Chain A
Amino acid sequence: MELNILTICYLIGSITFILGLKMLSNPATARKGNLIAAAGMAIAIAGTIFLYKDEDGNGLHNYAFIFGGLAIGTLVGFLAAKKVKMTAMPEMVSLFNGMGGACAGLISLIEFGRISNELGSGKSFHGTLLIIFLGLIIGSVSFAGSMVAWGKLNGKVKDFSFPGQQILNTIMLFIMVCIAGYLVLNITPANSYLFYIILAGALFYGIMFVLPIGGADMPVVISLLNSFTGVAAACGGFLYNNKVMLTGGILVGAAGTLLTILMCKAMNRSLLNVLIGSFGGGNKADASQQSASGGTYKEISISDSAMVMAYANRVAIVPGYGLAVAQAQHICHELEKLLDEKGVEVIYAIHPVAGRMPGHMNVLLAEADVSYDKLLEMEDANDLFKTTDVVLILGANDVVNPAAKNDPASPIYGMPILEVELAKNVIVNKRSMKPGYAGIENALFFQPKTSMLFGDAKGVLQQLVSEIKSL
């Protein structure tokens, strides 16, 4: 009876995961979808705790530890997720993803410990071992990789690559798989120490896998590691013949892989190119050459900027990471309203990968109550730039870099960009002339119609607002 109820709990869990993912891919239903999946997860977890029986009909014990762990995890997870700043969201997702990977790895570790006690009893463990190794390797790679991605996004870890790194990585993975394959077929108590070598190897591989990939590509990498963790969770499903883990894990594995590819497409690059390209790593030489030929740029004062914008017909605002860092979304909305009152049409041109994650800018501006229909996607915005008087770039750089269109040597060549140079005037707000996240110089800043407005986005916008008010 109890097991039947548990089966129903798991069934509900699986269905809510599928429904949740489906609803998450539509803006109107996304939030509800997330809550539905969360509810299904709660049912599946509660069912497992109270109704689970193993093959011999024994229930679970160690309840104190289970509830203790759940309480600690819930408290810490909830607080961390509530307190994290909007700008640090991608790091947080990466961190949580790493936790999931580590969890899958630990399960494999414990199950292996259990099996190694029964070695020599004549039972065959080939299938179980295969799953354990899969879970261990994938989970550990996902954990180590996510930690590096997390470190990179918050600036603690720098890009690091050396010649032949890809080859070394591939060899390392190959050796790990070989040892694992050997152990699956010929495990004895004497060679079971090799298991821990695989564990260490997988952790090391995870680090080396993410290290050379440039910081700007981290969302793609996190999405990929996300699908890895999904597969690692599915391995647990195999191990315990648990359908909800299996469906949930595989679902995320498949959806995550597709999502990764879609994200690459949004940047007009292939996944292979992201993984091997080591963006910003080997291209530093080009960057310095470009800056040498950069030429001069001109600055513009706050009052001049205010004047041009107040008397324009259409102003396009291009937000970027700088806006997010300065937390200037509210004052930006104020500027937009002010210009609107003066009869200036204001639009926001949103590049799909502006900021540190796709959709970053939409989230940020939505927080400041900017209305949906003012946010234009790249293609629509590009059509309007020709008839736009002023483009105000707030802390964006690589997404408006013309090198992506006309410099085949540039590492971002081929990425679709916002073609702001079509507008009559371009005002660029940046804190300094330092290059953007991709580490490359931006020729846009040196064009005659471009003026630089240096300063923190929030401060500059505040001054602009008061200046326009007094006009």
Chain B
Amino acid sequence: MEYILNFINNSQQIIYIVILMIFLGIEVIGRVPSVLHTPLMSGANAIHGVVIIGAIIVMGKAADTNYTAIGLGFLAVVLGTLNVVGGFVVTDRMLEMFKKKK
């Protein structure tokens, strides 16, 4: 019990961020028209590609002789980059077609 309370106390900053972000995430897209559902989903998909940062850190920390970690880390970096780059480019292509032509 004490451990849990300590954990909450030590990570209170993070807990605050999580709670505020949940409300912000809901608030920010609250009034999206249905036309934009797919581009928005695709854009959000690209944003969670931020996981690539974790992959870079894990890769950069791996010891030179730890081949498993290097191999998996490399794979993680490739997949994460795919998510980011592909996600943003696909979203841009979808939205390109929404531009107003007069």
A residues neighboring B (CB under 8 Å): 13, 17-18, 20-22, 24-27, 30-31, 33-35, 37-38, 41, 44-45, 48-49, 52, 54, 59-63, 65-66, 68-70, 72-74, 76-78, 80-82, 84, 86, 89-90, 92-93, 95-97, 99-100, 102-104, 106-107, 109-111, 113-114, 126-127, 219, 222-223, 226-227, 229-230, 232-234, 236-259, 262-263, 266, 352, 357-360, 362-364, 366-367, 369, 371-372, 377
Bound CA span A26–B80, Å: 27
Report yes or no: A37 in contact with B80, Cβ–Cβ below 8 A.
no
Q: Which residues of B contact A364 (CB under 8 A)?
A: 97
Q: Count of B residues near A, CB < 8 Å?
A: 82
Q: How far is the CA of A76 from the CA of B85 in the complex (A)?
A: 9
* B74 touching A65, Cβ below 8 Å: yes
Residues in B whose Cβ lies below 8 Å from that of A255: 25-26, 28-29, 40, 44
**Chain A residues whose CB sits within 8 angstroms of the CB of B46 once the complex forms:** 34, 37-38, 41, 96
A77 lies within 8 A of B86 (CB) = yes
Chain B contact residues, majority secondary structure = helix
B 59-102 binary contact with A (CB < 8 Å = 1; else 0): 11110101011101111111111111111111111111111110
Nearest CB on B from A261, distance (A): 10
- Is B85 in contact with A77, judged by CB distance below 8 angstroms? yes
Interface of A is mostly: helix
Which of B49, B58, B93, B97 has a CB less than 8 Å from the CB of A110? B58
B residues adjacent to A (C-beta < 8 A) = 3, 7, 11, 14, 17-18, 21-26, 28-62, 64, 66, 68-70, 72-101
B88 cross-chain contacts in A, Cβ below 8 A: 34-35, 37-38, 41
> In chain A, what residue has the closest Cβ to B43?
A24
CB <8 Å contact, B38 and A236 = no
Chain A contacts of B25 at CB under 8 A?
21, 250-256, 258
Closest to B73 in A: A110
B36:A25 contact, CB within 8 angstroms: yes
Whole-angstrom CA separation of A13 from B57 in the bound complex: 17
Whether the pair B47, A248 counts as a contact (CB closer than 8 A) is yes
Q: Is the Cβ of B59 less than 8 Å from the Cβ of A259?
A: no
Expressed in whole angstroms, the minimum distance between the Cβ of B22 and any Cβ of chain A is 4
Give complex CA distance A17, B29 in Å: 12
Minimal Cβ-Cβ distance residue in A for B18: A250
Do residues B94 and A89 form an inter-chain contact, with CB atoms below 8 A?
yes
List 13 A–B pairs whose Cβ atoms lie within 8 Å, in order of A's numbering. A24-B39, A27-B98, A45-B56, A45-B84, A95-B86, A99-B82, A100-B49, A107-B51, A240-B53, A255-B26, A259-B29, A262-B32, A359-B39
